[in-house]
Structure 1
Amino acid sequence: MEPRADIPGNASAVPRLARLDGLRGIAACVVAGYHLQIFYYNGLSDFFGGVAGWLFRWGWTFVDLFFLISGYIFAHVYRGGADLRTARQFGDFAVARVARLYPLHLTMLLIVAVLDWGRPENTLPIFLCHLFMLQGIVPGADSGFVGPSWSISVEILCYFLFALAAGSGKRAVTWVSVALAVLIVAKLALLGLPGGPWGADYLIGGVLGFFIGQLMWQHREILARVPTIVLVPALAIGATINVGSFSPLLPLDLLAWPSALLLVLRIKTFETRPLLWLGDRSYGIYLVHYPVLNLFFAALGKSHASWIGVIALYVTFSIVVLALANVALHLVERPGRRAVRAAWAKRHPSPPLGGSVAAYQAADSNP
């Protein structure tokens, strides 16, 4: 991957993985599309069939792809560039995470609280869980307010585990990654349920994907030599194999999504301007789409429209969500990041994150 032109020369060791940004944008759109059909239709997977049918049935698993991408990018930035050893480095790391995630999360939480406080699932205890980003860890808290935001708190747990391991050295990250992957795979193999999505798998599925991403980055040179002709059927098999009574997360997280990530790193199309535009707005798409769905559903109710009606609804929904995600990026996300980082830098004026990490984040691809 060639470094982006806007990354300074002293940061070229950690270029932006632009193609993964494109993949992240597509994944956000798939999750939004999956939730749309859950709200409005019954059996769209049977209605369309083929790839579209598969996406309508299994679109929820693209959240696991998010975690895999996140783990890979974190390893790329922090294991390939800066260390996490000193108190200042840990502080910079934590502030960068808050700056990246919290401004839009808080904004959407407050908006939904104002609009939908009266719903049975939107209570004060659940609100407090979301406020402190515990909604994916506290049982039952994931269903209220901005539902998909459960994954944010799982991401934060992954960041915490990663930072603890990285503080002990890069080798410790490897051992932690292997241990967590083995334990979670064993749990899914022995106790995992077929089908899904299951709330009980949210946490462990996210941790598994994140640390598989870590291991993939560490062995990236070996994986780069795997022929494309092997990766394509591996993706297809992992996505479509009938696992019977076992959890579908096993073939997806261990075979399909790793193969997809490796393939995307080889496809230049994923760093074209439209996909980079989408990738920059992926977080906004992910958080904005669910409140929009609630508004659409309140206005339209349940639908059993023809395929023309399905397409019309999807087009309208996509336009609204993309427009709002764009607004969120420019009015909330970027100003929020700058404000949080500026406040931290003012209070702690010593040199911030290492040049490679800072440049990566300045390129608007911070993990």
Structure 2
Amino acid sequence: MDTQTTDRLRALDGLRGIAALVVLLSHVVLASVGVLTMADAIGGDPPGAWWLLLRTPLAVVWAGPELVIVFFVLSGLVLTRAALAAPGGVRPLAFYAGRTVRLFLPAWASLLPAAALVVLVPRHVGGGPGTGFWLQAFTEPVDVRQVCSDLALVVGTHGVTLSGVLWSLRWEVVFSLLLPLVVAAAPVLRRLAAPLVVLLPAVVLGAGAHESLRYLPPFGVGVLLALRPDAVAALRERLAGRGVPAAVAVTAGLLTADLWLPDARTAPGSGGALVVIGAGAAVLLPLVYGGVARGLEARPVQWLGRRSFSLYLVHEPIVVTLAFALGRPGFGVLLAVALPGSLAAAEVFHRLVERPAHRLARSATADLQRRSAARRPAGRAEAGPAGA
């Protein structure tokens, strides 16, 4: 792998860190800025300057659900690229074993502190500047059936959950199950990349209530980026570093289209389709613009990127607990305690849980690959004489 390619993949780690930070900020906003929470929930417009943070591309600074779509595109790209580069190809059993450990162990572990916080800090209804629909939901008792769904990851929500962020891991698991089929179909997908890149947002446009049609196409966008590095390189040469501010602005606009697009409140598919395009553009930016890549390779951003999964898993229970413990404070106060608290918890979780789980996942994958490789020669030796 050449140095330039390695650097651009490091930039994608940084993008993942930024996305996790935006998800954190979105939950701080939802827990503390009641006027935005209510307007977002009922589809109205907030008063005054708040309108700019909800109905313009400036909403990108707290567009948590939209940045989760960026996570999906990143997973599609990174997992497909790794699978295509694997010596001897993808062995499904080995891949599934490693991916299961990589996703499930940290997810399960994150529920332990989340449950402890629910027990330790009462979640009573109260007034205050942060009162809003989002926090109100956490005053309901946790449904045991939902806890079981949390543990399963692949089951949808049925009630109040210990950790609301786990919904996205359901789609990570589903895509992981599909990846060997994606790799097998790679030659066909590569040839059809041009029509598929148009088809995938169109699927989201017509998805309606079908969640799989809303959340799997972003993975497909990442797959296409992995399958056509030649097209990405050609675009990089054609742009030659020109138009970065405009590209970033357009990407922010697309990513938040489900918030500012007039029809998005009545026809969410149109906004969702543009969000998928924006998520693909967000991943494409560091691949085609060296300046964007260098910004994402900065040491603090890389630190955040390496801990992005941990931050994503642990932050929401911390934000919710602090909001209740402090009497539902305003945005500034909640951010001042929730941000450092979540970053510190992410560091601890990364060291104690995520990093060991990652090592275990790699070990499980390597072990099953060795066993599979050891069995194959024996199988061929036995089949030869019998078929002669």
2:43 equivalent in structure 1: none
Q: Find the residue that maps to 2:371 and give its secondary structure.
A: coil
State how far apart, in whole Å, the 2-side matches of 1:349 and 1:218 are: 27
Match 2:271 to one of 235, 248, 251: 248
State how far apart, in whole Å, the 2-side matches of 1:346 and 1:82 are: 14
1:99 equivalent in structure 2: 101
CA RMSD of aligned residues (A): 3.4
2:142/2:159 contact within 8 Å kept: no
State how far apart, in whole Å, the 2-side matches of 1:144 and 1:179 are: 39
State how far apart, in whole Å, the 1-side matches of 2:230 and 2:368 are: 41
Structure 2 residue runs without a partner (length 5+): 37-45, 124-138, 265-269, 374-388
2:74/2:283 contact within 8 Å kept: yes
Q: CA deviation at 1:302?
A: 2.7
1:142/1:149 contact within 8 Å kept: no
Letter in 1 for 2:143: T
Change (3 A) 1:75 1:345: closer
Q: Find the residue that maps to 2:263 and give its secondary structure.
A: coil
1:108 equivalent in structure 2: 110
Moved more, 107-116 or 152-161: 107-116
Are residue 38 (structure 1) and residue 56 (structure 2) matched? no
Q: CA deviation at 1:258?
A: 2.2
1:186 equivalent in structure 2: 202
Residue by residue over 1:293-332, the C-alpha shift from the partner in whole angstroms, topping out at 9 and shown as x without a partner, is 12112202333x4xxxx33432321111111101011111
Letter in 1 for 2:11: R
Change (3 A) 1:188 1:61: same
Q: Find the residue that maps to 1:17 and give its secondary structure.
A: helix
Change (3 A) 1:278 1:314: same
Q: CA deviation at 1:132?
A: 1.5
Letter in 1 for 2:150: H
Q: CA deviation at 1:47?
A: 3.8
Are residue 332 (structure 1) and residue 318 (structure 2) matched? no
1:362 equivalent in structure 2: none
1:84/1:90 contact within 8 Å kept: no
Change (3 A) 1:101 1:142: farther
Q: CA deviation at 1:115?
A: 4.1
1:361 equivalent in structure 2: none
State how far apart, in whole Å, the 1-side matches of 2:165 and 2:92 are: 28
State how far apart, in whole Å, the 2-side matches of 1:277 and 1:323 are: 12
State how far apart, in whole Å, the 2-side matches of 1:143 and 1:84 are: 41
Number of residue pairs aligned between Structure 1 and Structure 2: 324
Change (3 A) 1:275 1:161: same
Q: CA deviation at 1:238?
A: 4.8
Are residue 127 (structure 1) and residue 147 (structure 2) matched? yes
Give the TM-score normalised by structure 1. 0.75
Q: Find the residue that maps to 1:301 and give its secondary structure.
A: coil
Match 1:221 to one of 213, 230, 233: 230
State how far apart, in whole Å, the 2-side matches of 1:346 and 1:223 are: 35
1:151 equivalent in structure 2: 168
Larger helix proportion, structure 1 or 2? 2
- Percent identity reads 26
Residue by residue over 1:36-57, the C-alpha shift from the partner in whole angstroms, topping out at 9 and shown as x without a partner, is 1101112468449478941356
Q: CA deviation at 1:175?
A: 8.1
Give the TM-score normalised by structure 2. 0.72
Q: Find the residue that maps to 1:224 and give its secondary structure.
A: helix
Residue by residue over 1:328-367, the C-alpha shift from the partner in whole angstroms, topping out at 9 and shown as x without a partner, is 1111111223345546766875388xxxxxxxxxxxxxxx
Are residue 261 (structure 1) and residue 283 (structure 2) matched? yes
2:147/2:162 contact within 8 Å kept: yes
2:166/2:313 contact within 8 Å kept: yes
1:165/1:172 contact within 8 Å kept: no
Are residue 170 (structure 1) and residue 186 (structure 2) matched? yes
2:95/2:365 contact within 8 Å kept: no
2:42 equivalent in structure 1: none
Letter in 2 for 1:311: G
Aligned residue runs from structure 1 range 1-367, under 5 A: 2-3=2-3, 17-43=9-35, 46-47=49-50, 49=52, 53-55=58-60, 58-82=63-87, 84=89, 89-116=91-118, 120=140, 122-135=142-155, 138=156, 140-141=157-158, 143-166=160-183, 168-171=184-187, 174=190, 185-190=201-206, 192=208, 200=209, 203-226=212-235, 227=239, 228-229=241-242, 232-240=245-253, 243-246=261-264, 247-254=270-277, 256-265=278-287, 266=290, 267-303=293-329, 305=330, 310-342=331-363, 350=371
1:68/1:210 contact within 8 Å kept: yes
Moved more, 319-328 or 262-271: 262-271
Change (3 A) 1:337 1:59: closer
Change (3 A) 1:59 1:162: same
1:231/1:259 contact within 8 Å kept: no
Change (3 A) 1:75 1:188: closer
Letter in 1 for 2:271: P
Moved more, 168-177 or 334-343: 168-177
Q: CA deviation at 1:26?
A: 0.5
Change (3 A) 1:144 1:70: same
State how far apart, in whole Å, the 1-side matches of 2:337 and 2:304 are: 17
State how far apart, in whole Å, the 2-side matches of 1:73 and 1:144 are: 29
1:99/1:336 contact within 8 Å kept: yes
1:28/1:282 contact within 8 Å kept: yes
State how far apart, in whole Å, the 2-side matches of 1:283 and 1:336 are: 12
State how far apart, in whole Å, the 1-side matches of 2:94 and 2:28 are: 38
Q: Based on CA coordinates, which of the two structures has the bigger radius of gyration?
A: 2
